[in-house]
Amino acid sequence: MCGIVGVLSNHEASPILVEALKRLEYRGYDSAGIATVNAGVLDRRRAVGKLVNLSDLLVHEPLPGKAGIGHTRWATHGAPSVTNAHPHQAGPVAVVHNGIIENFRELREELASHGIQFVTETDTETVALLAQHYMQNGTRPQEAAFKALDRLRGAFALAFLFSGHDDLIVAARRGSPLAIGHGDGEMYVGSDAIALAPLTNQISYLEEGDRAVVTRHSLEIWDADGTPVTRVKKTIEVDGARIDKAGHKHFMAKEIAEQPGVIARALGHYLSEDGQITLPGPGIDFTAVDRLTMVACGTAYYACLTAKYWFEQIARMPVEVDVASEFRYREPPVPTRTAALFVSQSGETADTLAALRYCTGKADQILSVINAPESSIARESDAVLPIHAGVEVGVASTKAFTCQLTVLFILALKAAQDRGEITTNRRADLVACLRGLPNIISTALGGNAEMQQTALRLSEARDVLFLGRGLMYPIALEGALKLKEISYIHAEAYAAGELKHGPIALIDKQVPVVVMAPRDALFEKTLSNMQEVMAREGRVILVSDAKGIREFGEGAYATLEMPQIDDLLTPILYAIPAQLLAYHTAVAKGTDVDQPRNLAKSVTVE
């Protein structure tokens, strides 16, 4: 998942590299490092932990030079340490890498047989050592790097820098994204266009298997077959301004608060003034397919799980949902007249991308619901449905989730309409409810203080259970995921009806049970499950609407009141308490809310 960057500048490279790495820190924060070439000399600085540690180091030990590469790490091979931090250097070669070199053991053995010593536990060091090994026979840097690349199996985005060459970066992409930025007499390399946004909006994306030789005034690219190619230079619309917290304590708080605005923006893109659904680009004709396969990871997977209920209930369309890491290796049959839909905030999740590639050529249509329109998943889809959530910095996904849900709901409505499964009046009612969603979410956000109080109780728990039935089941799963990832409290979610098939054994008075239960058609069923919990001294935190709380709130340990909304739209609304409970619990526990331990925002390794 790491982030990589490279610059061939006319100014000092260090501050540029650090600034770009700041914008890539969402990819990992186990360590950070940079290397530069100055007067022909290759040197580097590296620090464990967040980028700020590298910045501090650079104050005391500046690194001059106008050509450089940089890295922010999410550890795969080897613990987070200075030795294992990138850039890895072997004599005249320094390398930064995002991905995993799968055959590194075999390559290490081969290099060791030549008497070559290793100093790190990483797979990446092998790449630097291989290139150095090839350079020893007098091979030029570019050819040595290409020879090293020929030997690699696995996934990578790589950038090489060489001593004695302050106008050269060799870059390569296989499996992990890489963008080349064009400046005015300067060139840049980065894991994404966001990293390069303050420097340029002129971007060429490398394709799978591409290798590039970059100088300040030239860019040469060869494709996977070694044929020289050009890759179009696109003007990218990414805001280069520093992304700030806008007065909030955390990015996550800011992103939670932004939801009414970003959902309104998404609605504006998908609903015309007269309430018609307008899909971007080629869209999708749901009369041409009979079933939908939806694939994603983590929170995006829970968005798919929610959408399954919608597609089945509103459009009467069979839907399969799977986590990408399972789907990709199961080799499931993809029947004819199937549309495959991939949901991803980053658009770079390695497993989701691999699942998409598995379906390419098998499914009738490849659709994606993404937040990053220039991402690999977007670029490999037949039709792209952007969620318009804006940049999401907090590692725990919040506004992207509710925007994914909003777009998926509109897609389910479109399917219902195309398949003749919805009356005009019901469709108009639902569109009207959708339009009211931003206001209702604002009302729900107004309950922040109550959430904070309840979270204080959760913060003392060792385990927390979440229960939900029907459309609330995926939201219970999302609530549990949010809580565990940022507060480190063990949390599990169950379909309420499953409780008595095992998990009820966990209930005692130490275990808070968050029950997501709007007063809908399934409320009474869930109510019975709540009673089963309370009969065993479990502490129920009931999240419901006024009616639900009036009818059942009395015996609960705590109640959280949500505004009233059409039953079908409750998942989008009830995502708010799921997020706020997790957020305030994490704040009460004093954890690192925006960059929780062991996690990264963009999961580009499997």
Question: Quick check: 604 binds ligand F6R (CB under 6 A)?
Answer: no
Question: Which of 565, 586, 588 lies closest to 575 in space, CA to CA?
Answer: 565
Read off the amino acid at residue 383: A
Residue 465: count of CB within 10 angstroms of its CB: 26
Distance in angstroms (rounded) separating the CA atoms of residues 127 and 551: 65
Q: Which of residues 77-136 bind ligand F6R (CB under 6 A)?
A: none
Question: Quick check: 306 binds ligand F6R (CB under 6 A)?
Answer: no
Could you write out the DSSP letters of every residue in 283-347?
Answer: ---TTS-SEEEEEE-HHHHHHHHHHHHHHHHHH---EEEEEHHHHHHH-----SSEEEEEEESSS
Q: Is 234 a catalytic residue?
A: no
Give 132 or 371: the residue with its C-beta nearer to ligand F6R: 371
Distance in angstroms (rounded) separating the CA atoms of residues 1 and 600: 7
Indicate which single residue of 126, 352, 559, 585 sits in contact with ligand F6R (rule: CB under 6 A). 352
Question: Quick check: 586 binds ligand F6R (CB under 6 A)?
Answer: no
Residue 497: count of CB within 10 angstroms of its CB: 16
Q: Is 2 a catalytic residue?
A: yes
Indicate which single residue of 120, 122, 176, 349 sits in contact with ligand F6R (rule: CB under 6 A). 349
Read off the amino acid at residue 124: T
The region of 33-41, 69-77, 78-86, 343-351 touching ligand F6R under the rule CB under 6 A is: 343-351
Q: Which of residues 442-481 bind ligand F6R (CB under 6 A)?
A: 481
Give 486 or 530: the residue with its C-beta nearer to ligand F6R: 486
Question: Quick check: 299 binds ligand F6R (CB under 6 A)?
Answer: yes
Cβ of residue 603: shortest distance to ligand F6R, in angstroms?
A: 5
Query: Token pair of 483, please?
Result: 């809580």
Distance in angstroms (rounded) separating the CA atoms of residues 565 and 443: 12
Q: Which of residues 520-539 bind ligand F6R (CB under 6 A)?
A: none
Torsion angle in degrees (nearest 10) through CA of 395, 400, 405, 409? -160
Question: Quick check: 300 binds ligand F6R (CB under 6 A)?
Answer: yes
Read off the amino acid at residue 480: A
The region of 43-51, 61-69, 257-265, 346-354 touching ligand F6R under the rule CB under 6 A is: 346-354
Q: Are 552 and 544 in contact (CB under 8 A)?
A: yes
Cβ of residue 482: shortest distance to ligand F6R, in angstroms?
A: 6
Cβ of residue 101: shortest distance to ligand F6R, in angstroms?
A: 22
Residue 235: count of CB within 10 angstroms of its CB: 8
Cβ of residue 28: shortest distance to ligand F6R, in angstroms?
A: 13
Question: Which of 269, 287, 290 lies closest to 279 in space, CA to CA?
Answer: 269
Tell me the sheet residues that pair with 294.
321, 341
Cβ of residue 339: shortest distance to ligand F6R, in angstroms?
A: 19
Give the 3-state secondary structure of residue 176: coil
> Phi and psi for 12 in degrees, rounded to 5?
-60, 130
Question: Quick check: 297 binds ligand F6R (CB under 6 A)?
Answer: yes
Cβ of residue 190: shortest distance to ligand F6R, in angstroms?
A: 18
Question: Quick check: 293 binds ligand F6R (CB under 6 A)?
Answer: no
Strands of 31-38's sheet, edge to edge? 41-48, 31-38, 67-73, 3-8, 187-190, 179-182, 202-205, 234-235
Cβ of residue 254: shortest distance to ligand F6R, in angstroms?
A: 15
Could you write out the DSSP letters of every residue in 116-153?
Answer: ----SS-SHHHHHHHHHHHHTTT--HHHHHHHHHHT--
Question: Quick check: 346 binds ligand F6R (CB under 6 A)?
Answer: yes
Q: Which of residues 481-520 bind ligand F6R (CB under 6 A)?
A: 481, 485
Question: Quick check: 344 binds ligand F6R (CB under 6 A)?
Answer: yes
Give 371 or 526: the residue with its C-beta nearer to ligand F6R: 371
In the bound complex, which residue of the shown chain has the CB atom lying closest to ligand F6R? Answer: 298
Could you write out the DSSP letters of every residue in 261-291?
Answer: HHHHHHHHHHB-TTS-B--STT---TTS-SE
Give 92 or 177: the residue with its C-beta nearer to ligand F6R: 177
Question: Quick check: 368 binds ligand F6R (CB under 6 A)?
Answer: no
Give 213 or 603: the residue with its C-beta nearer to ligand F6R: 603
Question: Quick check: 585 binds ligand F6R (CB under 6 A)?
Answer: no
Sign of CA dihedral 363, 364, 369, 374: positive
Give 339 or 603: the residue with its C-beta nearer to ligand F6R: 603
- Catalytic residue chosen out of the listed positions 254, 399, 414, 601: 601
Question: Quick check: 578 binds ligand F6R (CB under 6 A)?
Answer: no
Give 87 or 347: the residue with its C-beta nearer to ligand F6R: 347
Which residues contact ligand F6R by CB under 6 A? 297-300, 344-346, 349, 352, 396-397, 481, 485, 602-603
The residues annotated with a catalytic role in the active site are 2, 601
